[in-house]
């Protein structure tokens, strides 16, 4: 049976469920911290290297506070994400505000926090100036369109709604220059969950070459490039993680060959990884409620697609461990399901597992990013708790489970009597 490691065993989970009923997401603090430190060390050669954690991946203030303590910033795309970052101690230029189709109130909030604003469209220059004023530093998001192929997850850049065209970059930076802006950044994000490290080296090369062209043509100097995120994780046991050492080496070579040679150093390097930072260090813990044998064999959990959308939404693979049966032969073929009134409420289809019975505890791996964050309340399902497994082995609840009162909080039952 293929396996993936866990930061806890069955006995630890049995102890936890006495206080926190399943289902719940639990995150490994030690793993997250060590991973952040490794990333920062790997790119320590780069001037001003900063990782901006993609808040959308895991929008919990405790996770953000943990990253703030490690020197990691926050990549935000909405007002609530900006406010989450602020409350967790991430402010100023430790925030990158990357949004699209943005309401002016959110630009105003970003300006109040002195965040770096990453504009998504050339028309947003005048929109930002009118509603919030132009800040000291401005970044543009580049969409290379037919000049670059995205991966199978994020799709073809030419079909994407994001970013400036190449010609619009030159026009946009000229507008900013003529309006007196002095500090500039350039950003691109054209892959998601990509396991080929060469992709990120090529993205850096593309941005470095653009920096040289734009700088020479417009007479401006760039402060940073943000190569985006999209670094994938090995969801399947047989997959290998991205070799970040090789990525760092490749980007450093490109930096020296392109930026240093053009006398444009120092140029800061930024990233905005989300999935890679927390994904492998989160786990959805659930209990088997039922087994069903009809045309197929089913294992029914107390978790549903409302707790983890990815498998049901687009067939994503998440490894499953039956606690206490890690070494048992995986000889039984199951669909692993939840209780939603939707047939795609399945965590796995035709998955070989050890024989599984009601009452068994199961762990669904790699849910630390885009797991709880993508949850919902369809069928009246209440959002689960989030727990943090501390480095000392203790457990802290960092989000309580929703209650019926939470679910009904925005409804007006009092008005029913006069309706």
Is the domain defined by 30-278 classed in CATH 3.90.650.10? Answer: no
* 339 in Cβ contact with 287 (< 8 Å): no
State the pLDDT at residue 1. Answer: 42
Residue 221, pLDDT score: 96
Does residue 148 register a pLDDT over 60? no
Element (H, E) at 16: helix 10-17
Q: How confident is the model at residue 242 (pLDDT cuts 50, 70, 90)?
A: very high
pLDDT tens digits for range 32-85: 999 999 999 999 999 999 999 999 999 999 999 999 999 999 999 999 999 999
Question: What are the E-state strand segments in 6-87?
Answer: 24-28, 50-54, 73-76
Q: What is the mean pLDDT of the chain?
A: 95
Encoded tokens for 101: 């189709």
Residue 105 reports pLDDT greater than 90: yes
Q: Which long-range contacts (CB under 8 A, 24 or more apart) does 10-14 make?
A: 10/323, 10/324, 10/361, 12/393, 13/285, 13/323, 13/361, 13/363, 14/361
Share of the chain above pLDDT 90, in %: 92
Of 142-156, 190-204, 398-412, least confident by mean pLDDT is 142-156
The number of C-alpha atoms within 13 Å of 118 and in the hemisphere containing its C-beta is 31
Question: In the prediction, which pLDDT does 191 show?
Answer: 83
Query: Tokens 């350039």 sit at which residue?
Result: 186
Residue 152 has pLDDT above 60, yes or no: no
- Note if the bond before 266 is cis, omega within 30 degrees: yes
- Report pLDDT digits (tens) over 294-343: 999 999 999 999 999 999 999 999 999 999 999 999 999 999 999 999 99
Domain positions in the chain are 10-25+279-408, 30-278
Distance CA 115, CA 75 (A): 10
Measured distance CA(7)–CA(28) in Å, rounded: 7
pLDDT at 155: 56
Report yes or no: 36 and 67 within 8 Å, Cβ to Cβ. Answer: yes
Q: What's the pLDDT score for residue 2? A: 58
What string of DSSP letters covers 221-255?
A: -EEEEE----B----STT-----HHHHHHHHHHHI
CATH topology of domain 10-25+279-408: Lyase, Ornithine Decarboxylase; Chain A, domain 1 (2.40.37)
| For residues 388-399, average pLDDT | 98
Alpha-helical regions (H) of 310-396: 310-314
pLDDT computed for residue 25 by the predictor? 98
* pTM for this predicted structure: 0.95
């Amino acid at each position: 049976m293929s396996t993936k490691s866990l930061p806890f065993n069955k006995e630890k989970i049995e102890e936890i469920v006495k206080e926190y009923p399943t289902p719940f997401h639990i995150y490994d603090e030690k793993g997250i911290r060590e991973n952040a430190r490794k990333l920062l060390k790997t790119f320590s050669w780069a001037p001003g290297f900063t990782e901006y954690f993609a808040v959308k991946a895991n929008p919990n203030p405790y996770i953000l506070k943990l990253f703030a303590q490690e020197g990691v910033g926050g990549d935000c795309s909405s007002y609530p994400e900006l406010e989450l970052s602020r409350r967790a101690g991430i402010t100023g230029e430790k925030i990158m505000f990357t949004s699209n189709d943005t309401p002016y109130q959110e630009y105003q909030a970003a300006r109040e926090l002195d965040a770096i604003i990453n504009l998504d469209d050339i028309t947003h220059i005048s929109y930002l100036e009118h509603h919030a004023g132009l800040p000291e530093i401005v970044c543009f998001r580049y969409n290379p369109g037919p000049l670059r192929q995205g991966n199978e997850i994020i799709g073809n850049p030419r079909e994407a709604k994001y970013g400036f065209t190449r010609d619009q970059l030159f026009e946009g930076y000229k507008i900013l220059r003529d309006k007196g802006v002095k500090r500039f950044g350039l950003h691109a994000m054209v892959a998601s969950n990509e396991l080929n490290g060469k992709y990120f080296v090529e993205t850096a090369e593309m941005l470095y070459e653009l920096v040289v062209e734009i700088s020479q043509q417009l007479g401006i100097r760039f402060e940073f490039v943000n190569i985006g995120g999209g670094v994938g994780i090995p969801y399947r046991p047989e997959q290998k993680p991205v070799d970040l050492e090789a990525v760092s080496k490749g980007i450093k070579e490109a930096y020296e060959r392109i930026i240093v040679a053009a006398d444009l150093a120092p140029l800061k390097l930024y990233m905005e990884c989300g999935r890679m930072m927390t994904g492998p260090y989160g786990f959805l813990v659930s209990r088997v409620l039922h087994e069903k044998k009809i045309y197929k064999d089913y294992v029914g959990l107390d978790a549903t697609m409302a707790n983890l959308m990815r498998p049901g939404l687009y067939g994503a693979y998440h490894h499953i461990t039956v606690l206490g049966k890690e070494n048992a032969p995986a000889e039984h073929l199951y669909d692993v399901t939840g209780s939603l009134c939707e047939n795609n409420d399945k965590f796995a289809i035709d998955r070989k597992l050890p024989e599984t019975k009601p009452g068994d505890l199961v762990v669904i791996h790699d849910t630390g990013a885009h797991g709880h964050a993508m949850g919902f309340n369809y069928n009246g399902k209440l959002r689960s708790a989030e727990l943090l497994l501390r480095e000392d082995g203790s457990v802290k609840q960092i989000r309580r489970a929703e209650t019926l009162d939470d679910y009904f909080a925005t409804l007006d039952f009092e008005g029913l009597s006069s309706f």
